[in-house]
């Protein structure tokens, strides 16, 4: 029989932070879709105390501010994000990524806060947060801080939050009105983690690229972004040679590892192909959007 685990069920963010500050090695339980799987593997993965965030209503909503910023509570499930109408245009990539995380039953319980705190570089949200220039909102004993996504993911399965801090929300800034975005994921089988993924947000005017942000998932310990690759695409009409050059620059910036989903060499072959597919789909979306 399993070792007993202390179980806390705070009702407010303040209560949760108080527990994290006072109970040594307490571990937040969000949707549990990774943590409970780990606990099921045996004592190696079993924290002495769990702080369930399930009953904290403050963490559960998606709202849009007047300036268009979308604020997603940490406990919002992948299923809810995948069905939300607040993610369109430059933020459609968020909804698209949420809809391809694992399988339907996992998406019922898995949450955005849990996923990003786990910081698995093969997961879907990390690259999306980078591509959309999102901010992670964190509450700790000394108050609230806002961490740009690029500073949140610091290493393989490692974030910049402290053990007594709690992720409360993710804010997605409004994209330009004409922006489109796409998430493209290559997997061995439906529902798997990405072998390589590309999150892209793009603004086109008369077929020319006004601005672009690209982030790669599963291509290093943290999501990979290469400013030089984006610069290569800006003010071009995204012709084949432009996309090929950008793909080469991204490959130089990427540091994929050999793993069960593919060798590093294989992933480097995937990057330019997925980038091309992503940009093509973004262009199609931009056309469809104008026609509507």
Partner 1 sequence: MTINARTTLTSFVVNGDPQEVSVTGAQTLLNVLREDLHLTGTKCGCNQGICGACTVLCDGMPIRACLALAMVVDGRDILTVEGGKTDPVLSVVQQAFVETGAVQCGFCTSGMIMSATALLMRKPSPDRQEIREELSGNLCRCTGYAKILDAVALAASRLPIQESAT
Question: Residues in the site for partner 1, rule: CB under 8 A?
Answer: 2-11, 15, 19, 29, 32-33, 36-37, 39-41, 46, 50, 52, 54, 79, 83, 102-106, 108-109, 190-191
User: Residue 104 or residue 207: which is nearer to partner 1 going by CB?
Assistant: 104
User: Residue 71 or residue 102: which is nearer to partner 1 going by CB?
Assistant: 102
User: Residue 2 or residue 260: which is nearer to partner 1 going by CB?
Assistant: 2
Torsion of CA 19, 114, 95, 67, to 10 degrees: 30
User: Residue 24 or residue 66: which is nearer to partner 1 going by CB?
Assistant: 24
Q: Are 95 and 112 in contact (CB under 8 A)?
A: no
Name the phi and psi angles at 241, rounded to 5: -70, -35
Least Å distance, CB 79 to partner 1, is 7
Least Å distance, CB 20 to partner 1, is 13
**Whole-number Å distance between alpha carbons of 268 and 251:** 6
| 279 Cβ contact partners less than 8 Å away, ≥ 6 residues apart | 200, 202, 233, 238, 243
Least Å distance, CB 96 to partner 1, is 14
Identify the residue whose tokens are 């591509």.
131
Least Å distance, CB 141 to partner 1, is 17
In order, the DSSP letters of 134-145 are -EEEEEETTEEE
Least Å distance, CB 261 to partner 1, is 14
Q: How far is CA 85 from CA 1, 120, 229, 278, in A?
A: 45, 27, 31, 22
User: Residue 5 or residue 255: which is nearer to partner 1 going by CB?
Assistant: 5
């Amino acid at each position: 029989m399993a070792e007993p685990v202390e179980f806390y069920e705070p009702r407010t963010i303040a209560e949760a932070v108080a527990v994290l500050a006072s109970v040594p090695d307490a571990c937040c339980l969000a949707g549990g879709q990774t943590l409970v799987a780990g606990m099921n593997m045996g004592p190696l993965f079993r924290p002495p105390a769990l702080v369930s965030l399930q009953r904290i209503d403050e963490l559960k909503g998606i709202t849009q501010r007047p300036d268009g910023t979308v604020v997603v509570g940490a406990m919002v499930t992948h299923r809810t994000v995948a069905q939300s109408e607040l993610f369109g245009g430059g933020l459609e990539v968020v909804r698209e990524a949420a809809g391809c995380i694992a399988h339907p039953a996992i998406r019922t319980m898995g949450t955005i806060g849990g996923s990003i705190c786990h910081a698995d570089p093969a997961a879907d949200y990390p690259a999306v947060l980078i591509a959309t220039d999102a901010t992670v909102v964190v509450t700790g004993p000394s108050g609230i801080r806002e961490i740009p996504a690029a500073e949140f993911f610091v290493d393989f399965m490692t974030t910049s939050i402290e053990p007594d801090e709690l992720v409360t929300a993710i804010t997605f800034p409004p994209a330009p009105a004409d922006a489109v975005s796409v998430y493209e994921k290559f997997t061995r089988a439906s529902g798997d983690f990405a072998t390589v993924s590309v999150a892209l947000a793009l603004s086109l005017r008369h077929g020319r690229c006004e601005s672009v942000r690209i982030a790669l998932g599963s291509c290093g310990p943290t999501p990979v972004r290469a400013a030089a690759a984006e610069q290569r695409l800006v003010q071009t009409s995204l012709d084949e040679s432009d996309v090929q050059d950008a793909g080469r620059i991204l490959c130089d910036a990427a540091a994929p590892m050999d793993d069960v989903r593919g060798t590093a060499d294989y992933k480097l072959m995937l990057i330019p192909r997925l980038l091309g597919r992503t940009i093509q789909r973004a262009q199609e979306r931009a056309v469809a959007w104008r026609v509507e």
